[in-house]
Chains A and B, each alone.
Chain A
């Protein structure tokens, strides 16, 4: 019951945030509200007991993508306002996609249903065997680090590359300043 109440509250906050992301006109306000959106999303994931997903959401959504959006906004020319284009086709597209998604939701298994297909395929084996195989007490860590080790290695490389890109974006400005300073000294 408490779980459902928390979920309801967080999702209603998400709805409010989304509405004002669409309504807002200042770029930096949109970026800030998107940061709030990802934080609320990761809170929902923690409430659903998907802590690893929440971890990734916080690292990529709140950390890296906020910085990327801010740096992109800094490069844009100032004082230009977007003209409102014809909204009619996009509204029809959004409504049809949301109808399809709602139709799909009715076919999904319930939350925490033990007879859902994903809980019947290989998960019982993992829960039974993994501790004797690899001697790691946590099953999720076991799957991520042992059974799907190469997959996790690839993901780690992707996240490392994203971090490198952010570092390059953040330091390029200061590098320019330093070279300008050196040029002035030479003159």
Chain B
């Protein structure tokens, strides 16, 4: 039961992060919200495994976190390049 409670709370937080990603006035809000969505989904996958009695998915959630970090770094690097071109964010 507690796993499903955790899953619903994680779902609400994914929704809130998605609202910030859609509204976000600056691009950095978007980057932050997308990376936190990735982290929440990684937690959600491991909690989902425990809730449905198949806790073998923890390594997959670890890989999600790593890939998420990669995407964040790529977007930040994009801003580095753009800054060098125009000096304006």
Contact = CB atoms under 8 A, between A and B. Distances in A.
Interface of A: 2-3, 6, 9, 13, 16-17, 20, 24, 26, 28-29, 31-33, 35-36, 39-40, 42-43, 46-47, 51, 54-55, 58-59, 62-63, 66-67, 70-71, 73-74, 78, 170, 173
16 contacts: A2-B4, A3-B52, A26-B27, A28-B30, A29-B21, A33-B30, A33-B34, A35-B38, A39-B64, A42-B41, A46-B45, A46-B48, A58-B60, A63-B67, A66-B74, A70-B78
A13 B15 contact: yes
A32 B41 contact: no
B64 A58 contact: yes
Contact of B63 (A17, A20, A58): A58
B67 A59 contact: yes
Categorize the interface residue count of chain B.
Answer: 35 or more
Nearest to A78: B86
Contacts of B74: 66-67, 70-71, 170
Interface string B45-79: 10010011000010010011001101100110110
A67 B71 contact: yes
B51 A2 contact: yes
B2 interface: no
Contacts of A39: 37-38, 41, 64, 68
- Residue in A28, A46, A55, A67 whose Cβ sees the most chain B Cβ within 10 Å: A46
